[in-house]
Structure 1
Amino acid sequence: MSETSEEKIKRIAREIYGAVGGIENVEKLIHCMTRVRMTIRNDDKVDIEKLKNINGVLGVVEEDTLQVIVGPGTVNKVADEMVKEAGVKLGEPFPNIEIDTTGMTDKEIVEAKAAKVKAAQKAKQKQTPIKQILKSISNIFIPLIPAFVGAGLIGGVAAVMSNLIVAGDISKSYTDFVAILKFIQNGVFSYLAIYVGINAATEFGATAGLGGVIGAVTLLPGMDINAPLHNIFNGQPMSAGQGGIIGVIFAVWLLSLIEKKLHKWVPDAIDIIVTPALSLLIIGVFTIFIIMPIAGVISSSLVGAINWILNVGGAFSGFVLGALFLPMVMFGLHQILTPIHIEMINKTGSTPLLPILAMAGAGQVGAAIALWLRCRKNKQLTNMIKGALPVGILGIGEPLIYGVTLPLGRPFITACIGGGIGGAVVGGLGHVGAIAIGPSGLALVPLITNGHMMSYVLGLLAGYVGGFVATYFFGIPKDAILGEATTVETDALSQNGNKKVIDPNVAMTTITAPVIGKKVAIDTVSDPMMAQEVMGKTVAIIPDINSKIYAPVDGKVTMIADTKHAIGFMDKIGEEVLVHMGVDTVKLNGKYFNLNIQVGDTVKHGDVLGTVDWQKIIDADFDPVTMTIVTNTSDFKIDEIESNIQTKDNTVLMDSRIK
């Protein structure tokens, strides 16, 4: 019995995954006219011959991406099936199991924790249709934010120079230069509908080029202004851009539905010709005569309503909006605001909503500084704050939200209060708008409308102070002050209620060699970060060719890198000990490493943890030097034995005790 078209698509998708090492070996997937293009994580897992022999695969091309040729009319269906199985959209990163944090800076560690908390927070949330819509809106506009920021800044410079020319402060000879700046600015905003159409098509699973055409249709290119089309509802002449960005998104969503249906109905042989033509014709006509008039009324009413609320509510409206924005971010509801900002900029020249909402980030910064001062003994927390604070000041708030305040609970609430105070100041002063959207914080200052930058800065200062005071006096959890030095995960810990605490009878411990070999001075290590002991007290050993890997502590395994080149431990007194095998061996993706332990295992000094083919590592031009690092060195008094000695599995490298 022959397989149906749908069965064929599912089989090809399944067999491609089988030949490339499974879904877990694919980092990203897109397609072109004839090829499924995959970014592969580990090329060694790909079976090219097996891939070529799949029934339905016409060829394989190995370049920066692995390209599997399946032909026009089939490629989009196979690609859609593959990303559907992975639970992502075309072009989105595929899920990964672990992230190797070895050698990360404070900033990178807090961002990694923020991403983990954010993912956990999203997992708790029920994925309703509304949240799916908001996520899609976010995905459409995020790629455009750098263009908004860059063009907005250039437009701001052009506006200032124009005012100076009119006032006679600078020569009229700069007129042409100002015109050039405006050309660059208008390159984004005049054709924004096209960019949004392309991104919306990618998000909704339609052909990107067709989405761009539908966006262009809303600009009514080529329409004779002396003989315009008329609105079928009120008979008024239609204007280019009527319906705005909201109309474009809705039209492209309909396009995606029509195109997908046609792909199923139209035979593969003529699909590439018939489907695009019919899709554009149907949606193009519907967009001009139905979507544009209705969306035009909606967008104009929305902008007018927001301006009315801000004008009437003043400081009160500013406080409410500033205080509620962080919860909106947490639940993903803030994504709906992006097209509103853009519509306000298109219709009035600026968005007064963005400067108020930006105060939420100021509240986060103030709360983080208060936590830093009150919890300075909590090294892990303060290091995370140091990593997240600079970008928070510049308007990138996710590391502070998901990495610091939200996990602690009360600081998140007091940060919201600080955001409300800043919002009240901006709303009370009034007339503060942003001429483009982008990061908030200090980074938004150049985009504030001419003459109102100081009002925005005063709002930021109020948000900083409000978040700091509210958090310092009311938002500090006791466990944040104590820190994680009292909550380590190891078998040598005793129970105190539901909290694990360090055994008070254990005050001193030793760290032994993880490999047999020759101990060398740390400043001879080729990796400058390791040589300077940036991560903490470090001992380096060049392993013998036949050396195994041994446990350096009595404690518990807390981390194993995906690439197996690094293992983390927690010992009896709470030391975080990292064994890092080789320099840059992360690039080997686990090749030549064979470990027989798992995270959570209890180990004792000298236990064999696995083997490494040191000779093959050397043959592959990697330095095998193995580092033993105490990553929380500042909490302990550590004495190292002298250098240049031969080590065995029980050789003591360091004596440690709590300060």
Structure 2
Amino acid sequence: MAENKNEILGQEIFKNVGGPENVSKLIHCMTRVRMTIKDYDKVKMTSLKAIPGVLGVVEDETLQVVVGPGKVNKVAQSMVDAVGVKLGEDFPTVSGNLSLEEEAAINKQKAKDKYNKPSKFKEVLKSISNIFVPMIPAFVGAGIIAGIASILQNLVTAGTLDSDSWSQIVAVLNIIKNGIFSYLAIYTGINAASEFGATPAVGGVVGAVTLLTGMNPDMPIKNLFDGQALAAGQGGIIGAIFAVWLLALLEKRLHKVIPDSLDIIVVPTISLLVIGLATIFLIMPIAGVISNGLVGAINFVLNVGGGFAGFVLGALFLPMVMFGLHQILTPIHLEMIDKTGSTQLLPILAMAGAGQVGAAIALWIRLRRNKEFVEKVKGALPVGILGIGEPLIYGVTLPMGRPFITACIGGGIGGAIIGALGNVGAIAIGPSGLALIPLIANGRWLIYICGLLGGYFGGFILTYFFGVPKEELQKAAEYDNISQKTNSHIVQELADDEGVTIELKSPLNGTVNTLESLNDGVFSAGMMGKGVAIDPLDGHVLSPISGKVETVFPTKHAVGIINDDVEILIHIGLDTVELKGEGFDALVDEGDLITVGTPLINVDLVAIKEKGYSVQTAVIVTDTEKFKSVEPEQLGKIRAGDNLIKLLK
């Protein structure tokens, strides 16, 4: 019953702030639901304050509706669940007066994989990607700074640069870099909580638990399985993600049984205690047992030596990093440096990053038409070349699955080259990639470079031919097809003195009027973008552009189309969403590739008019802000296929 009350309260709040279409983002604090409002004129302030359960309303940068501690998280969660997004995510822009249920159906449909139904494994990889993609800009910036600091430090260590002059500069750069890399588990915990539906701040604390902050080194926490001391970071990023996933499961159960008045106190306390203990005494120790078990295997591989050892170590290093198992290698490095003056293990392990670089380049080439993906690779590659692998791992190869495997094998090839040629060591532990070159001992840096090239080419060849998933190729092909169709069919582009003019065709026979003539505040005010209104003569709706069908509303009264140049929304009738699809026959599905003149929807105009609804149709350029001007070509009578709207870039 409490859950139902919270949902009703959330719906009432939406109703009085102008509906979810008037909200661009929603978060909550300890007592308040905080909404970013698009148009405050639509907010019914008096009615909002009068809702039972609303304790007050505060107007600030966000509209803050006070509902009280304990209750606020449940009300806010019910509101974003109704819209189909997560807390803090941008609300989708929709047209018409849609109900919460209809908006939820639309957004959940958009969230589905349009290219292939994902397996459980792919869903896991997608979640991991969602956790790390928001951190990629920080990875890139901090990674480049880290690479510069590493090169400078290596030159200092090698004696090329004067320590007194450069050490403080290196220290400052490392302080900046450590802002993300030293506390990566915390950021991961926060983002994982958002992904899994837990409280972000609590997720950050769970991630921080893995750092063992405050543990007395003289009295370390013991591994329950073998009695060895736990090490900070044991369990790695994957361990932190798993712990936060458990947190999400526990929080959701507790929210259902804990009274609202106690929720804010009881839920985070129990959640942190239970998951914190599980992290320290189960998740981290299990990773520690695996780590200790690998010591013998690594020593065996090192004793075997040669190309075999190089391949195995180069191929397995990145999976070890993901699980925090690379911690076991530090004492091995230090022991080798102490006894021989260099560690021959580090140059081999550095090849793992080279394999990732090669794989990313291959993906860039094979999927180059997928512009969003290419932008991601462009940001991650320079950092990867400098030896910072997180952006490439978590943002590029791992989410696709197969490229991560081929990249690891490519790293094994680079490791095999160094292992076979032998006697390549580093005089200190630190970064990998190109930044490691100044630390290579005894002038054998050419062999190290040969290994890097082997890793690059190995990761590239294996990924290019065997590592690109079919669904990603299909996605890129669709981008390619749209681009080709754009060049040949979409628009008539005319070069002029001011820029490029794009002509959009009319989707209907009828009479063109200004958008302001529509009796709908959202459209007439241009909130959705500029465009025109058409009073249709018949019910055959054709595509005004070539591109891809982005959205077909469940009620079939509206369709969205995109291509490389423009985004179009065709909204048939006013308030026709209330007909729930009656009188509309959609002829296309989401994801379909279409050309100018492709039939989109057949509409029974007579039936719709008989039910008392206007059939006036809005044709809107939803990305109006991209253009210098969006103007009707003509008003009055028009035929389908005639020039309708002129866009000036």
TM class, shorter-length: 0.5 to 0.7
Q: Is structure 2 residue 632 aligned with structure 1 residue 626?
A: yes
Q: Distance in 2 between matches of 1:309 and 1:601?
A: 64
Q: Distance in 1 between matches of 2:227 and 2:567?
A: 74
Q: Give the CA deviation at 1:71.
A: 1.3
- 8 Å CA contact 2:23, 2:91 repeated in 1: yes
Matching residue's letter, 2:322: I
Match of 1:215 in 2: 207
Q: Give the CA deviation at 1:235.
A: 3.3
Match of 2:543 in 1: 557
Q: 1:242 to 1:125 in 2, by over 3 A?
A: closer
Matching residue's letter, 2:135: L
Residue by residue over 1:433-476, the C-alpha shift from the partner in whole angstroms, topping out at 9 and shown as x without a partner, is 99889xxxxxx8669996556644565457667888999xxxx9
Q: Give the CA deviation at 1:354.
A: 4.2
Matching residue's letter, 1:625: E
Match of 1:121 in 2: 115
Q: Distance in 2 between matches of 1:415 and 1:196?
A: 22
Match for 2:233 among 241, 265, 275?
Answer: 241
Match of 1:340 in 2: 322
Q: Give the CA deviation at 1:7.
A: 2.2
Match for 2:134 among 140, 143, 147?
Answer: 143
Q: 1:49 to 1:307 in 2, by over 3 A?
A: farther
Q: Distance in 2 between matches of 1:358 and 1:270?
A: 51
Q: 1:317 to 1:64 in 2, by over 3 A?
A: farther
Residue by residue over 1:270-306, the C-alpha shift from the partner in whole angstroms, topping out at 9 and shown as x without a partner, is 4333443343334434433333322322456579979
Normalised to the residue count of structure 2, the TM-score between the two structures is: 0.57
1:576-595 to 2 correspondences below 5 Å: none
1:17-416 to 2 correspondences below 5 Å: 17-20=14-17, 22=19, 26-39=23-36, 47-94=44-91, 119-122=113-116, 124-126=117-119, 128=120, 130-172=121-163, 173-298=165-290, 340=322, 344=326, 352-367=351-366, 384=369
Matching residue's letter, 1:626: P
1:419-430 to 2 correspondences below 5 Å: 426=414, 428-430=416-418
Q: Distance in 1 between matches of 2:190 and 2:458?
A: 40
Q: Distance in 1 between matches of 2:16 and 2:260?
A: 25
- The farther-off stretch of 179-188 and 37-46 is 37-46
Q: Secondary structure at the match of 1:119?
A: coil
Matching residue's letter, 2:363: Q
- 8 Å CA contact 2:193, 2:248 repeated in 1: yes
- 8 Å CA contact 1:56, 1:70 repeated in 2: yes
- 8 Å CA contact 1:200, 1:211 repeated in 2: yes
Q: Distance in 2 between matches of 1:235 and 1:37?
A: 48
Q: Give the CA deviation at 1:35.
A: 1.9
Could you tell me which runs of 5 or more consecutive residues in structure 2 were left unpaired when the two chains were aligned: 96-108, 331-345, 382-399, 440-444, 468-472, 506-511, 518-531, 552-557, 577-582, 589-597, 602-614, 621-627, 645-649
- 8 Å CA contact 2:49, 2:57 repeated in 1: yes
Q: Distance in 1 between matches of 2:462 and 2:228?
A: 51
1:372-521 to 2 correspondences below 5 Å: 384=369, 426=414, 428-430=416-418, 452=448, 455-457=451-453, 459-460=455-456
Q: Distance in 1 between matches of 2:564 and 2:321?
A: 49
Q: 1:84 to 1:259 in 2, by over 3 A?
A: same
- 8 Å CA contact 1:366, 1:463 repeated in 2: no
Residue by residue over 1:338-370, the C-alpha shift from the partner in whole angstroms, topping out at 9 and shown as x without a partner, is 96176548955866544324433333345468x
Q: Give the CA deviation at 1:77.
A: 1.1
Residue by residue over 1:414-442, the C-alpha shift from the partner in whole angstroms, topping out at 9 and shown as x without a partner, is 999997996675354358999889xxxxx
Q: 1:449 to 1:207 in 2, by over 3 A?
A: farther
Matching residue's letter, 1:67: Q
- 8 Å CA contact 2:417, 2:450 repeated in 1: no
- The farther-off stretch of 160-169 and 459-468 is 459-468
Q: 1:561 to 1:428 in 2, by over 3 A?
A: closer
Q: 1:449 to 1:144 in 2, by over 3 A?
A: farther
- 8 Å CA contact 1:318, 1:426 repeated in 2: no
Q: Distance in 1 between matches of 2:74 and 2:7?
A: 9
Q: 1:118 to 1:426 in 2, by over 3 A?
A: farther
Q: Give the CA deviation at 1:72.
A: 0.8
- 8 Å CA contact 2:234, 2:325 repeated in 1: no
Q: Secondary structure at the match of 2:115?
A: helix
Q: Secondary structure at the match of 1:121?
A: coil
Q: 1:339 to 1:610 in 2, by over 3 A?
A: farther
Q: 1:45 to 1:346 in 2, by over 3 A?
A: farther
Q: Give the CA deviation at 1:625.
A: 3.2
Q: Distance in 1 between matches of 2:194 and 2:415?
A: 37
- 8 Å CA contact 1:568, 1:578 repeated in 2: no
Q: Distance in 2 between matches of 1:146 and 1:285?
A: 33
Q: 1:44 to 1:558 in 2, by over 3 A?
A: farther
The CA RMSD measured in Å over matched residues stands at 6.3
Q: Is structure 2 residue 7 aligned with structure 1 residue 14?
A: no
Q: Distance in 2 between matches of 1:569 and 1:84?
A: 26
Q: Secondary structure at the match of 1:269?
A: helix
Identity of aligned residues (%): 41
- 8 Å CA contact 2:355, 2:456 repeated in 1: no
How many residue pairs align between the two structures? 501
Q: Distance in 2 between matches of 1:69 and 1:191?
A: 33
Normalised to the residue count of structure 1, the TM-score between the two structures is: 0.56
Matching residue's letter, 2:206: I
Q: Secondary structure at the match of 1:30?
A: strand
